Amino acid sequence: MAELDQRLLEDISEWSHERPVPGIDGVLRLDVRDGARVDEWYLTIAKGVVTVGRTGGEPDCVVSGDSATFAAILSGKANAMAALLRGALSARGKVVLLTALQRLFPGSPGAEGLPTAGYAERQS
């Protein structure tokens, strides 16, 4: 089992500039298990924008799980809410932070939910 690909988290941070997380600031710590090893990642949400680091302030919410689960969620192959219900993730503290972040995780691969005609007009 490989350790979590840092780029997946950086994507989240990048997305948050385009799609800010509404109205909720705080620190979410991911405890990523890989065998006996636990890597901590800090996602700090301030004014809707997420920054990623290996250190951070006192977490408002701690989410733990194995690296495969996190990798699946961060690449759109699994759903965070379902993983939490399933026990593949566990969360302590203000779980609402995880809900707010969910909007930054990718959707399911190959999804056909393409914007309809009006979308293109509006973008041009």
Partner 1 sequence: MSGAVKILSGNTFVVSDDSGDIEASLTDPTGLFSFDTRFLSKWVLTIDGQRLNPLSVDDLQYFETRFFLVPGTGTVYIDAKLSVIRQRAVGDGFHEDLTILNHDDKPVDLEVRLEAACDFADLFEVKDDLKKKGEYYTSIDDGRLVLGYRRETYVRETWVSATEACAVDEGGLTFAVHVEPHEQWATELSVAIGRDVRGTAAERPEHERRGHKAGSDMALSLEKWLDEAPSLDCDWDPLKRTYRRSLVDLAALRFSPVMLPGHHLPAAGLPWFMTMFGRDSIFTSLQALPFASDLARTTLAALGLWQGARHDDFRDEDPGRILHEMRFGEMTAFEERPHSPYYGSVDATPLYVVLLDEYERWTGDAKLVRALERQARAALAWIDDYANLQGNGYIAYQRRNEKTGLENQCWKDSWDSISYRDGRLPGFPRATCELQGYAYDAKVRGARLARLVWKDPAYADRLDKEAADLKRRFNRDFWVEDGEYFAIALEPDGSQVDALASNNGHLLWSGIIDESKAKAVAGHLMSPAMYSGWGVRTLAEGQGRYNPIGYHVGAIWPFDNSFIAWGLRRYGFKEEAARIAAGILDAAELFEGRLPEAFGGYERALTKYPVQYPTSCSPQAWSTGAPLLFLRTMLGLEPIGEHLVVDPALPQGIGRLELLDIPGRWGRRDAFGRSRVAVGSPPRRDAQLGVIEPGATKA
Contact call for residues 42 and 29 (beta carbons, < 8 A): yes
Contact call for residues 70 and 49 (beta carbons, < 8 A): no
Instruction: Quote the least distance from Cβ 124 to partner 1, whole Å.
Output: 13
- Which CB, 52 or 101, lies closer to partner 1? 101
- Which CB, 54 or 122, lies closer to partner 1? 122
Residue type, 108: S
Residue type, 82: A
- Which CB, 27 or 73, lies closer to partner 1? 73
Instruction: Quote the least distance from Cβ 12 to partner 1, whole Å.
Output: 12
Binding site for partner 1 (CB under 8 A): 19-20, 22-24, 76, 78-79, 81-82, 84-88, 90, 95-96, 98-100, 102-108, 110-119, 122
Contact call for residues 57 and 46 (beta carbons, < 8 A): no
Instruction: Quote the least distance from Cβ 64 to partner 1, whole Å.
Output: 12
Instruction: Quote the least distance from Cβ 29 to partner 1, whole Å.
Output: 17
Give the DSSP letter of residue 114.
-
- Which CB, 55 or 111, lies closer to partner 1? 111
What are the Cα distances from residue 109, in Å, to 16, 24, 30, 76? 20, 28, 23, 6
